[in-house]
Amino acid sequence: MLTKFESKSNRVKGLAFHAKRPWILASLHNGSIQWWDYRMGTLLDRFDEHQGPVRGVAFHPTQPLFVSGGDDYKINVWNYKQRRCLFTLHGHLDYIRTVFFHHEAPWIISASDDYTIRIWNWQSRTCLAVLTGHNHYVMSAQFHPKEDLVVSASLDFTVRVWDISGLRKRHAAGSGTPASLMGASGMPGGMGGMPGGMGGVGGMGGGSGGGLGGPGGAARSLLMDDGRADLFGNSDAIVKYVLEGHDKGVNWAAFHPTLPLIVSAGDDRQIKIWRMSETKAWEMDTFRGHYNNICNAIFHPRAELVLSDAEDKTIRVWDMARRTIAQTFRRENDRFWVLVAHPHINLFAAGHDSGLIVFKLERERPAMALAQSSLVFVQGQHLVQYDLQSKQEKTLVQVKRGQGFQVSPRYLSYNPTEKLALVSVPVEGGLIELYSLDTAQRDPVKLHGHVGAFVGRNRLAVLDKTAVALHLYDSRGTKLKEVKLPAPATEMFAAGIGHVALSTGTSVELWDLQQGALVAELTNVNNVKYLAWSNDMAHVALLSKHVITICTKQLKQLAVIHETIRVKSAVFDGTVLIYTTLNHIKYALPNGDTGILCTLEQPLYLVHVQNDTITALTRDHKVTTLTVDTTEYRFKLALVNRQYAAVLNMIQTSNLIGQSIIAYLQKKGYPDVALHFVQDPPTRFELALECGQLDVAQQAAETMNNPQAWTRLGTEALRQGHIALAETAMQRVKNLPSLSLLYLATGQADKLHKMLTIAQHRGDVMGCMQNAVYLGSVEERARVLVDAGQLSLAWLTCYTHGLTELAEQIAARAGLSPEQLEEIKAKVPADAALLVPPRPVAPMVDNWPVLDAAQNGYFSNHSAAATTSATQAQGLSSAAVAAAMESVTADVQQLALDDGWGDGAGDASSRAVGNVDEIDEAGWGFDDMDLPSVPTASATASAAQPGALQLDVIPLQGPSKRQAWARGSTAPVDHILAGSFESAFAVMNRTHGITHFAPLKPEVLSLYSAGAAHVAALELPLAENWENTDPLLSRPVAVLTPASVQSTTAAEAAQLTSQGNLAAAVAQWRHVLHQLALVASGDASVRAQIDQAREYVHGLSMELARRELDATSPDPARSPALAAFFTHAALQPVHVQLALRLRAGCWMRIPAPAVAQNARQFIALADANAGTPVDASVAGVAYDPLHVVPVCAKSFTPIHAQEPAKCRFCHATCQPEARGETCPVCKLTNVQ
């Protein structure tokens, strides 16, 4: 038995397969109904409306319905799409055992413990007929799959077959039953439904008195066609046969799907087969073997088998031809209650005490072998050959003989040279059969073993799992050699001439049979079931249950593919692996990329792939071919192999579209290829930026027209040195600071003057100052300062730079006296110099030269055409663009002077000017200024000028000063100043064991910001040796040193301690530790500072704990001990004095009789008991002044252990139990 799915739940009483979907319903003894997807192993939903056990459940064959019946006497009809109960049918007076849908009519049949069978119309929601005749519980009732018959089983020891042809004829015209005529019990006129009593109208009550073939009861027709009750007893259903033969109650009866047979099972532990004819029915056979009550027995839909389950915890398979037990499956602790078969595929399900199990009796994978163009496979009882070219099929030899159940061969190996076939049959002990196909050989040569395969023209290998060996035979079955294996193997596969591959369960081994040696091995591959070799034997795919491993012939792993559902088969198409799962045909490239070719209704077993045609075998062992589109994986394979001509041809000729292709190209680094498939402007913009095609990105940005796109385009243009496009993008989003910096960097002083004028008109003081600094204009800087009201600073600026007349004017305006001017002059450095920006020698107005990307250069000849077609597809034309630009320009000219950035819904980004030559003051929101003209931006017009510098190597970016600071430095502060936080943390972890960096966040951010001077749109790293221009020799300014920590942070902490603000002092001393962690080195002075801060944090924390203890729950023993421990902290003398005074005051409050008298008695007592801590012993204080031990920084208790836990950084000590916890003092490391 091959288990496909298993669930754990309450006892399962009813099961039902869906006819088309991989679903199964399970009705439980606790009243719940579970809806499972047995293929994926997931619970889809749960339905809870029944009160008590649900014993019967069934899917409708075509509608989204299922029906259930339970011990609450109710029949519920559900819609699983809506996931709710549609309605409930009432009428039964006792437990309902089974419910089934009719295969054609809108009927439901139900069997109940009220001795009746009822047929319902689920469309009109009425009861059509009540079949009475049984005089005990009716355990099952179901329709015949084709005829108008019903079979029922009852605990009255009988099986009855009912003829319902009259019911079909009566209701063929669609007559119904008005609900007004139905009584409370569901019977017309309020009739009781119990058989054997007063039968009611027509007198059709009664028991099972008839003999074989005689009617022992009938069914009452509830209504006539016109809706009136039938007063003459005409029956819509009559008993056709009464089958008697069981010695106890019958629990189940079922029809054969195609033959006139009935199977029944009962409490007498017997299974009986009955045959029907037109006039009679008789017992044909009886199966005995169960040891307890049999709950179910069903026919195998496609084989001469009967399956049964019983309370003896077994499922048995009976061979109808041989009348024997073919297979037995046993569970240790669970009794079986229900057994069902799938209507179309070879699946069965059984319900037991702790859940359900879905299984099949044997593997459905056909044994097959492909040699050249000949496919040889087992079909039924014969070996069949199929020619892939001629599509002809012929029978070769019979491999199964006799009747009854026989195990199907699992493996087949074919030798086309000698016309030999080797069949491996998985029977107990193993069986290998060697057939000669071109002779009149009737009986095969039988060999002992489990798996066989041809390894040469006249050599075959057999795996013997019992002997843990490989046997080598010739073509006549003569044993030639034996190779002992070091470990047991589970499977064996042919691997070329003289080689076999063995699966050991955890690895795959390649063996050379001639040498008897292990050649190669691949580990960490579990339970390999099948192998698929490429045509040239260069690649092999190892197939496990959910994993495919692609290797070379030397078992070098290339890729691993994981699937969520089972892998069924695989075959190579060149270097691409085509494989099937339960649901799909998929492909896998050599690099591990996968995709779906098509969806399958039923699994297929692949045989051969040629072009777009796939040849496969079905589970019925029939050859089928299907056509799939292989363009997708051929396109991807061409990309992987860099076959660019094939890629371009596919782009031009195939219909490759979809988000998956675009995502794949972008993921694999081919955004320029993806551009050929995209027309959406946002997507084209992203792809164009990624591959650096600025002209395409500019077209997309003009179409999108949003500020984010223009900002990103400007950034990328700057990165590529496309000055014109960067200027255009900055103008479109009005990024004035960046535009000024661009003009400064490119040496365009005239445009800087215009930017200064723009800033003046906008009233932008910072912009004016920035542009004045860029231009080196002292007069303009002074004017800005005067306008800002900084007259003293303006005078100083003019005086420093020798503008005497302007300085006098400003002094007079400011009203500065000569004395004040002299005082200001005294503050001027003697070596003050004019800050003049460097004058550009050769202004950079041309774009940087751009090299063609070598990787995708094969598209260079076609990019223009593709871009043109894309533009035309979007409906863009130059005339339309020009018209749009004129409209935008008119809108921009209406902007107010004081709001150059625009407002409202139509902001500046949506009204930007596209043609840079036409930009004027109005375009920027001013009345009397011009923006500098910019040549039309074009990414393709780079450096193709005659005589331009031709570069063949793209220059690399040089190191910055910040990068140089972190090189070769072991101080964490240098790494932080350089912005390399990770390396700084690594240094601190390596030197001091610091693992908790969150407390250092404020310090780190403060240090990093202090390491550079920031001007609008400009960052200037502050270097200590600023006069040295070599960035590799640059050193950062020492913004944090041990001396600065001692003079600032530590001094503030000491002052807070003196003031008695202990909580703030603890925080400040811990701040000292955090700063020292950033500048810590091996110096003794730094170590002393760390020790001092640790002592203060430790001691003050103990004092805070003592005060909190006194305030909440005073402890006469604990409080003096904490005060005593505080005096042992290594504090400054003034703070030690405070600690001693606190201890004295606290200890004076100890209630000791000898001490409380007076100080003189206290001294006398101390002298008399020298060496004995009288005060402590009296009060029970855990403190001994003569034996001072370390105090735990966490619990504030004495540490008596020889090896206490210790912090690597601050050296705080804790109890051994605190190992691995965060240090309570510095909170930076874990104590160890």
In the chain, domain spans: 1-89, 245-359, 529-629, 669-758+836-945, 777-832, 961-1040
* Cross-strand partners of 328: 316
| Res 1080: pLDDT | 65
Q: Which long-range contacts (CB under 8 A, 24 or more apart) does 764-773 make?
A: 764/736, 766/1016, 767/736, 767/737, 767/740, 770/737, 770/740, 770/1015, 770/1016, 770/1017, 771/740, 773/835, 773/837
* Euclidean distance between CA atoms 937 and 915, whole angstroms: 9
Q: How many CB atoms lie within 10 A of CB 206?
A: 18
| Res 1015: pLDDT | 60
Residue with tokens 């902001």: 907
* Euclidean distance between CA atoms 586 and 295, whole angstroms: 43
| Res 1165: pLDDT | 57
- 511 Cβ partners below 8 Å, 6+ apart? 470, 483, 499, 500, 501, 502, 517, 518, 519
> Could you tell me the two tokens for 1190?
């370390």
- 774 Cβ partners below 8 Å, 6+ apart? 740, 741, 743, 744, 752, 837
> Could you tell me the two tokens for 878?
């130059």
DSSP for 1021-1044? E-BTTTT---GGG--B-----HHH
Residue 235 near residue 206 (C-beta atoms within 8 A): no
DSSP H or E segment with residue 1095: helix 1084-1112
Q: What is the pLDDT of residues 849-868, one digit of tens each?
A: 776 554 444 444 444 334 33
To the question of domain 669-758+836-945 being in CATH 1.25.40, the answer is yes
* Euclidean distance between CA atoms 369 and 424, whole angstroms: 12
Phi-psi region of 555 (alpha: psi -120 to 50; beta: other; left: phi over 0): left
CATH superfamily of 529-629: TolB, C-terminal domain (2.120.10.30)
Q: Which residues of the chain have pLDDT under 70?
A: 172-234, 400-405, 439-442, 655-658, 666, 851-959, 968, 1014-1019, 1026, 1029, 1080-1082, 1113-1116, 1147-1182, 1184-1187
| Res 1102: pLDDT | 83
Q: Look up residue 321 and give its amino acid.
A: A
Residues in the chain: 1232
By CB neighbour count within 10 A (0-12 exposed, 13-18 middle, 19+ buried), where does 285 fall? middle
Q: Look up residue 1029 and give its amino acid.
A: T
- The conformation of residue 119, written as its DSSP 8-state character, comes to E
| Res 1156: pLDDT | 46
| Res 657: pLDDT | 62
CA dihedral 1151, 1153, 1159, 1163 (to 10 degrees): -110
> Could you tell me the two tokens for 476?
């006549």
- The conformation of residue 9, written as its DSSP 8-state character, comes to -
Residue 1135: how many CA atoms within 13 Å on its side-chain side?
A: 24
Q: How many CB atoms lie within 10 A of CB 851?
A: 13
Q: DSSP 3-state assignment of 325?
A: strand
Q: What is the pLDDT of residues 919-933, one digit of tens each?
A: 333 333 334 444 444
Residue with tokens 């390596």: 990
DSSP for 950-1002? --SSPPPPPPPHHHHHHTT---HHHHHHTT-HHHHHHHHHHHH-B---GGGHH
Phi-psi region of 591 (alpha: psi -120 to 50; beta: other; left: phi over 0): alpha
* Euclidean distance between CA atoms 95 and 114, whole angstroms: 7
* Euclidean distance between CA atoms 711 and 724, whole angstroms: 14
Residue 465 near residue 430 (C-beta atoms within 8 A): yes
What are the φ and ψ backbone dihedral angles of 1138, each rounded to 5 degrees? -65, -40
* End-to-end Cα spacing for the chain: 57
> Could you tell me the two tokens for 958?
């040089």
DSSP for 634-691? HHHHHHHTT-HHHHHHHHHHS---SHHHHHHHHHTT-HHHHGGG---HHHHHHHHHHH
> Could you tell me the two tokens for 428?
């107990």
CA dihedral 1047, 1052, 1058, 1059 (to 10 degrees): 160
245-359 to CATH, choices 1.20.140.10, 2.40.50.140, 3.30.450.20, 2.130.10.10: 2.130.10.10
Nearest C-alpha neighbor of 797 from the set 779, 813, 815, 812? 779
> Could you tell me the two tokens for 773?
């600094």
What are the angstrom distances between the C-alpha of 526 and each of 541, 660, 957, 1183?
13, 31, 49, 65
Q: Look up residue 506 and give its amino acid.
A: T
**551-585: buried (b, 16+ CB within 10 Å) or exposed (e) per residue?**
bebebeebbebebeebbbbbbbbebbbbbbbbbbb
Which pTM does this prediction carry? 0.59
| Res 202: pLDDT | 32
Q: DSSP 3-state assignment of 1176?
A: helix
- 101 Cβ partners below 8 Å, 6+ apart? 58, 59, 60, 61, 65, 67, 107, 108, 122
Nearest C-alpha neighbor of 63 from the set 102, 90, 33, 6? 102
| CATH architecture of the domain covering 1-89 | Beta Barrel (2.40)
Residue 987 near residue 884 (C-beta atoms within 8 A): no
Are 245-359 and 529-629 the same fold in CATH? Answer: no
DSSP for 211-269? -TTS---EEEE---TTS---SS---SEEEEEEEE--SS-EEEEEE-SSSSEEEEEETTS
Q: Look up residue 83 and give its amino acid.
A: R
Residue with tokens 């000698």: 418
